[in-house]
Amino acid sequence: MKPDNWISAFTTGNQPLVIAGPCSAESHAQLLTVATSLKEQGIGLMRAGVWKPRTRPNTFEGNGREALDWIADVKNQTGIAVATEVASTQHVEQALHAGVDVLWLGARTTVNPFLVQELADALKSVDTIVLVKNPINPDLSLWIGALERLHHAGIKKLGAIHRGFSSLQNSVFRNQPLWQLPLELKIRYPQLPLIADPSHIAGNRHMIFDVSQKALDLGYDGLMIETHPDPDNALSDAQQQITPLALKELLANLRIAERSSDNIIFLNQLEHLRERIDQMDQELINTLASRMKLVEKIGDYKKENNVTVFQLERWNEIMKTRPEWGQHAHLAADFIKELYRVIHDESIRIQTEIMNQSETRHDAP
């Protein structure tokens, strides 16, 4: 999958792509106000929700066809390009007819391969930009599958939007970012533009800057930020929208890092530090291998004594002590917990394999 690099049409230099605009197209005046402000800031792509997939009925679900008429007129007056979400073949037909420049598939759509295929068929060989938001749950295969279906339909201008993932855990985020998943997508498809949606990740306007900066520090290609002239009175997602002025200030304060450097001193020092990391990684692997040898011996003893593989008390002890040890070494507790979850999973796998062997395993001489 090698999509065209369409982002350059909306950016200059090393600046990231910015897609900004209201969660919902509420009125012609609202759209014109936002579009005019964005154009003054040099932003050429406005987002505006026409159809809003809401969790429960009897809530504002967008203005539909009427909003498309507003969009067409605002595009004509300002010259701004517009992006909107589509979730049915009828949406696709109406949006393209109204001159919408960029379409995106929302998280609720990405999770349904049948619906994605219908949209891909409706877009077959259409020369337009199509973006795909991550599915609601952290399933990288579903995300990739949606992109592949569109690619197979002949869509060459593709992009991925990271809007975070739903979780039952208490969190400061509306949707957990789980940064490793979109980064894995970028590793697999380095030419695929990756855009962060800090509004939906944060869920409140006070965290949008920090999430935006994090995304840019990780090498994201752009940001989609919900922008409204009067956010507190917005008809949808009021808490996570910011004013055009706040957007201008936010963008002005973002640190835009270079993707690489030609500085010889920097490159030499970086190479030296990476060599040291390589040595330490080898030591870590050797240490892990030694640990797993002990895990194998414990598995043998458990089998000989008919003891279950999983020992809750031991697991609770590890999850209490290791994060404490980590904090003493200035390592984040959450990082240590996640590390030991992975180690524990592998230990369970090894010991389960030993328990299922017909005879006790013996180490090679």
Tokens of 76: 């004509």
Residue 117: CB partners within 8 Å, gap ≥ 6? 149
212, 224 contact by CB (below 8 A): no
CATH of 264-355, picked from 3.50.50.60, 1.10.10.10, 3.40.50.740, 1.20.59.10, is 1.20.59.10
pLDDT score for 364: 45
pLDDT score for 276: 96
Q: Residues 261-306: pLDDT tens digits?
A: 889 999 999 999 999 999 999 999 999 999 999 999 999 999 999 9
Distance CA 177, CA 175 (A): 6
Q: Residues 154-181: pLDDT tens digits?
A: 999 999 999 999 988 888 999 999 999 9
Q: Residues 311-350: pLDDT tens digits?
A: 999 999 999 999 999 999 999 999 999 999 999 999 999 9
pLDDT score for 109: 97
Q: Can you give the length of the chain in residues? A: 365
User: In the chain, how long is the greatest CA-to-CA distance?
Assistant: 81
pLDDT score for 365: 40
pLDDT score for 359: 58
Distance CA 35, CA 75 (A): 8
Q: Does domain 7-253 have CATH number 3.90.25.10?
A: no
Which helix (H) or strand (E) covers residue 96, if one does? helix 89-97
Percent of the chain with pLDDT over 90: 88
pTM: 0.84
Q: Which of 317, 312, 303 is nearest to 350 (CA)?
A: 303
Question: Where are the chain's structural domains?
Answer: 7-253, 264-355
Segment 247-254 shows an average pLDDT of 97
Q: Which of 1, 14, 2, 3 is nearest to 222 (CA)?
A: 14
Q: Residues 193-237: pLDDT tens digits?
A: 999 999 999 999 999 999 999 999 999 999 999 999 999 999 999
